[in-house]
Amino acid sequence: MESVVIKNWDKNNWLSSKNYILSFINFLIKFKKLDVNSKILDIGCGRGKIIGVLSSKLRLKNKPIGIDLINHRDKDKRFYFKKIDALSFFSSNKNKFDLILIKQTIHLFGMSEIKILLDKMTKSLSSSGKIFIFTLDPNTEIPNFNLMKRKLLKSLEKDKKILKFLTKIFPNRVLKHFSYRVEVSKKKYIKMIMNRYISTLLSFSNKQISTGVNEINFKYNEIIKFNDKLVCIIIKNN
């Protein structure tokens, strides 16, 4: 996996809000039947709020497992956290999961790594298990500035290659779409930009971020409204 660490994607924004998390969880359980006995893994879990809330909602007997490259002090307490990369985790994993979740992190892997990872994940599924891989929708409405937009388009091209690759390996894969209506103050969104909440922003210099903030200030209203849209690729255990 590329050494990319996104620290602030799920901190103090709509992605960490109660409404977003409940909407996202409802999407998961709509397309994957889960119960108190389900075993769940989240790859790139961040602070683990999604699987934490899911654990409470389902009253899981087995705490979900979340893995990430950074151990947040303010992470959720309702899951087992492991500071480890995905490939290393699966090299010693003996669990069989009913749900493996990869939310907006698959693009951080190289194509050769994705092939290895998919093999390890499918071997770690229960008989009725499913893998949910989320990527940005090609028609994303994420508020942006010029340089950010160019970087996003480049990232979306990789997502298209990944989808094509997954379709070749798993012709029976299912595509679904998740959308959440966002209303965020421009002031708060600018703070998110400055915190580099999305991987697209990580390589930008402070000067580039500052220029982008000026563009955001000029381009958007005080309340920014848009749909946060994701594509979900669902892979079943064959």
For range 143-156, the mean pLDDT? 94
At 2, the pLDDT band (50, 70, 90 cuts) reads: very low
Burial (CB < 10 A; 0-12, 13-18, 19+), residue 165, is middle
CATH code of the domain occupying 14-184+226-236: 3.40.50.150
pLDDT in tens, 171-204: 999 999 999 999 999 999 999 999 888 888 888 9
pLDDT in tens, 106-148: 888 888 899 999 999 999 999 999 999 999 999 999 999 999 9
Rounded to 5 degrees, φ, ψ at 215 are -65, -45
Has residue 29 got a pLDDT over 80? Answer: yes
Sign of the CA dihedral with 151 first, then 1, 178, and 235 last: positive
What pLDDT is attached to residue 198? 86
Residue 175's nearest CA partner among 189, 160, 195 is 160
For range 93-116, the mean pLDDT? 92
**Cα 55 off chain centre by:** 18
Pair 196, 106: CB distance under 8 Å: no
Rounded to 5 degrees, φ, ψ at 113 are -70, -35
**With pLDDT > 70 as the criterion, what percentage of the chain qualifies?**
95
Domain definitions of the chain by residue range: 14-184+226-236
CA–CA gap between residue 134 and residue 228 (Å, rounded): 12
